[in-house]
Each structure stands twice: as structure tokens, then as C-alpha cells.
Structure 1
Amino acid sequence: MIHLLHNPVWAALSTHQSYMNQGDETLKYFPADICPFVGLENWGEEDLRTLSTSLPSDRTFSMPLSKEVVLPDDFQVVFAIPLYQMICQHFQPFENRAIAMVPLTEVHVPQMLRLTEQTKPGPFYQRTIAFGNYHGIFDADKLVSMAGQRLQTHTHTEVSAICTDPLYLGKSYAKALTSHLCSLITSAGKTPFLHVRQDNAAAIGLYQKLGFEISTEIFFTVFRKK
């Protein structure tokens, strides 16, 4: 089943998260206030024409894929970066009882938006919390670290939005939160996976200590209609 994660958006919106699909059976994408991801079953030249004819023109989209895709001429690339996809087949838990983690709810969204805007872990919008299982660490009333889940198939769940206020780095907050999310995912009978920038050696090392291994390269592209 791991190969399905080479086209993770299509895999998620065709299975566990099909209820979130705003497209159809050919082109699938999430609601604009939850996630910018779009998916096609295949990304050949003819398939890509569907983007031109069927995607809304008033929003920005992104696609994480295990291969590079040349978009039709009527799109402009806003941002592109190579990532690694990492899968946790052999979870190695990390526990620090001194670190208090609490579930995050809609009341925390303003702080979640501020933290993700500050740290740039990836797209996070007003209703991204709908993906569920977001947890955070607070200093008094201030949210200083968080993580949650995003894409889900029937067999795999993505850990996402892992971020920490720069003033609170070095306290193992990200490691504790990622481990906690992995525990929830494996307890539900699924396998955790995540995406990380290829130049983020510190994060890659942290995830490897938890049992994650690099499975494939992912090309992450943000684009919109011209």
C-alpha cells in the first residue's frame, strides 16, 4: 500500500477522506479553508488538461507528488520545493512526562494560525483543524508548539503542522508531540507518515529517532491560474 502514498492526495480523497472532496471522480481537492491540496489519479498530459477546465480560478492549489509535473501554460508556479516522505513502520516512542500536551479545539485556532504563520510548517488555514487530533504545548496561555494530522487513507495517517516557537526550541517539544501523534495513529491500527524539507537535517534526524525512514522524494508545488 505504500505506493499509494506517492500520490497521497488522490489516495486520501479516494478513501478515508472522500467526504471532504470538493471535486468529482476525476479531479479531487479539499475545501479552500481546510487545505489547498489537489489530486488526479494520473498526471499525464491529457489528465493535466482537467486542471485547466475544472479547477476554480479564484484560489491557490498545491500538489505533493513523487514525480515532477509540468503544468499547462495557463498556470503559474508560485512556489516549489523538494521534500522527503518518511514512513514510520517501526515506531520508537519518546516519552517525557514533564511535557504537558493538551488537545487543541476551535478556540485555539487564532493561536494556531499565529504559530504556523510564524514558523511556516506548511499550509494551515482557518478550518485545517477539521483534520483532527491537533495537540499543543503551552507556556501559561501561549501556544508554543503543536502538531496534528492531515492526509488519511484506510491504512496510513499523516502527521503534519509540526512546529515550535523559535524561543522554545531545544526542549524536545516537537519530538514529544510527534511521538504522541504516532501513538494515536498506531493505536488506531494505521501507519504514520509525514513530509519534511530535504534541507531540514535536524527534523529528519528527530523523525528517524522515532522510527521514521525516508521512503521517497516528493515534489511539492504551489500553483494558481494566470
Structure 2
Amino acid sequence: MRTVNLHSKEEIEHFLRKNQALRVYELGDLDDFFWEDTEWYGLKEDGELQQVLLLYCGSDLPVLIGQANGNVAQLSELLEATRPRLPSRFYSHLSPEVVTVLQEDYQIEYHGAYYKMSLQNQALLGKYDKAHLVKLSWQNLEEIEQLYIESYPQNGFDPRMLDTGFYYGIWNNNKLVSIGGVHVYSPQYKVAAIGNITTHPEYRGRGFSLGVCSHICRELLKTVDTIGLNVKADNPAALAAYRKLGFEIAGEYAEYTLELK
């Protein structure tokens, strides 16, 4: 086996499509909107790609994404070979079995177990769609950021994602009380990942987040085929809500912050 830098979108896509429900984020990052901020590493055998690691550098803290997908030894080998090229500090979404490869060089802070979910039953979306949703834009940035401060301070919101046109909210008495949007959207690769979903604590229990998610998904399905999301494994309320919308678990991973010792 040999480790290589990957530069061919077609080659990477061919590999990721083998399990696209698990690989929504990586597929989306092939899009021109994200591509220049990505570095790709692969493990090959007889010229055939066996494993892939993605380093996304478009955020304040780079993010490393790697899914073993049944072959821990191969992903561990790729991670070991890639280790000298990794940043001194980064966030990661990794299969938990492989992170020990980095523990000699990095301090590792564990942020919990997560599920990747994929929309499998689109018919359920219509039950929760809300007619009074409003599309959000840069003009609403102050209200958006205030809602996240009050309701979801650990969010992954990037204001430039408003340019996708897939951020929606619910207002009450001129106050933004519920919001949802996308982390990744690629009409070229026909995938999207929804996220940054929250409702103000004073307005929870009214189905607002269900309505926001349902509407976003129905709008996305006009241009994409696969919709995914990430959710904490110890959040049963969120898991139940996503299942109501037709999402099912596609895989597991864990999140970490790593910093050179």
C-alpha cells in the first residue's frame, strides 16, 4: 500500500460514492465552493483507492475527516503516514478506533460520540412543513448570531453559508426564535448536510425545529439527491426528531480537538 496526495475530483468521487450516505460532507467538499480549502490524502493498493482522509482548511480551526467504514487497519495506516503533514492544532471527525495513532504526538480532547444520519423516507417530511418560515439572508445576520448566542453557542455557523439560500427561520414578535440551515450544499454533486439547527429555549416544544428541518429538506430535494446530518449519540430527543423526519443512522464517529504536545 502507498499513501498519496489526491488531486483528481473524479477519483475521489468514485471512491466516496461507494457509501454516499456516510460521505455526504466529503462529497460536498468536492464542490468548487469548498475545493480550494481542502487537502485530500489516499491509501492505494494496485492503483485502487482504499481509504481517504480529508483536511478542510476553510474554517478557523482545520477539520480532519476520516471514516474507517469497516477497515480500521487501513485508515490507521493512512493516518499514520499523514501525521507529519497535519496542522499543529485541528478538529477532527474520526472513527474512534484510529485516533490512538495520534496520541504520541498530540494532546487529544474528546468531544463525544456522534451519528451520521441520512434521509431515507422523504414521505415523512410533509407532516411537519411550516408555511410561516422566512428565508434568511445577510440582512438578518445580527439576529441570527444573537439567537445562536442564546440557544446554541457551540454552533458551527459560517455566515457565508447564507449565500446558499438554505437558511430559514421562524419569527415571533419580531424576534428570530428558530433557525436551521446547511453545513454543506452541492448541486453539482447533489448532496447536502443540514445543520446549525436550534430553537430559543422559551419556544421549544412547539415543533419549530421540525418545521424548519422539514422545509429545508424539501427545498434541498429540488436540487440534491442525498441529505445527511451529524448528531450527538447522547441526544435522544434530537435522534427521535430526525427519525420523525425520515432520517436513519448511516454510521458512527467521534469528535476531537488535537494539539501538538
Q: TM-score, structure 1 length as denominator?
A: 0.80
Deviation at 1:141, TM superposition (A): 2.7
Q: Using a 3 Å threshold, how does the CA distance of structure 1 residues 7 and 95 change in structure 2: closer, same or farther?
A: closer
**Correspondence 1:209 to 2:225:** no
CA distance in 2, matches of 1:161, 1:126: 11
CA RMSD of aligned residues (A): 2.9
Residue-pair matches, total: 220
**In structure 2, what is the equivalent of residue 32 of structure 1?**
59
The residue correspondences of 1:1-226 to structure 2 (distance < 5 A) are 1=17, 3-13=19-29, 15-16=30-31, 19-26=34-41, 28-33=55-60, 36-39=62-65, 43-55=75-87, 57=88, 61-70=90-99, 72=102, 73-91=104-122, 92=124, 93-95=126-128, 97=130, 100-120=132-152, 122-130=155-163, 132-152=165-185, 154-226=189-261
User: Which structure has the greater CA radius of gyration?
Assistant: 2
Percent sequence identity over matched residues? 25
Q: Using a 3 Å threshold, how does the CA distance of structure 1 residues 130 and 190 change in structure 2: closer, same or farther?
A: same
- Whether contact under 8 Å (1:132, 1:149) holds in the other structure is no
Q: Which structure would you say has the larger RCO, counting Cα contacts within 8 Å and 6 or more residues apart? A: 1
Deviation at 1:219, TM superposition (A): 1.6
CA distance in 2, matches of 1:11, 1:95: 28
Q: Which moved more, 1:216-225 or 1:201-210?
A: 216-225
Structure (1 or 2) with the greater strand fraction: 2
CA distance in 2, matches of 1:83, 1:54: 23
Q: Using a 3 Å threshold, how does the CA distance of structure 1 residues 20 and 105 change in structure 2: closer, same or farther?
A: farther
Q: Which runs of 5+ in 1 are unaligned?
A: none
Deviations 1:52-88 (A, max 9, x none): 4342x4xx53232445432523332334211111111
SS in 1 for 2:148: helix
- Whether contact under 8 Å (2:167, 2:179) holds in the other structure is yes
Q: Using a 3 Å threshold, how does the CA distance of structure 1 residues 209 and 112 change in structure 2: closer, same or farther?
A: same
Q: Using a 3 Å threshold, how does the CA distance of structure 1 residues 47 and 214 change in structure 2: closer, same or farther?
A: closer
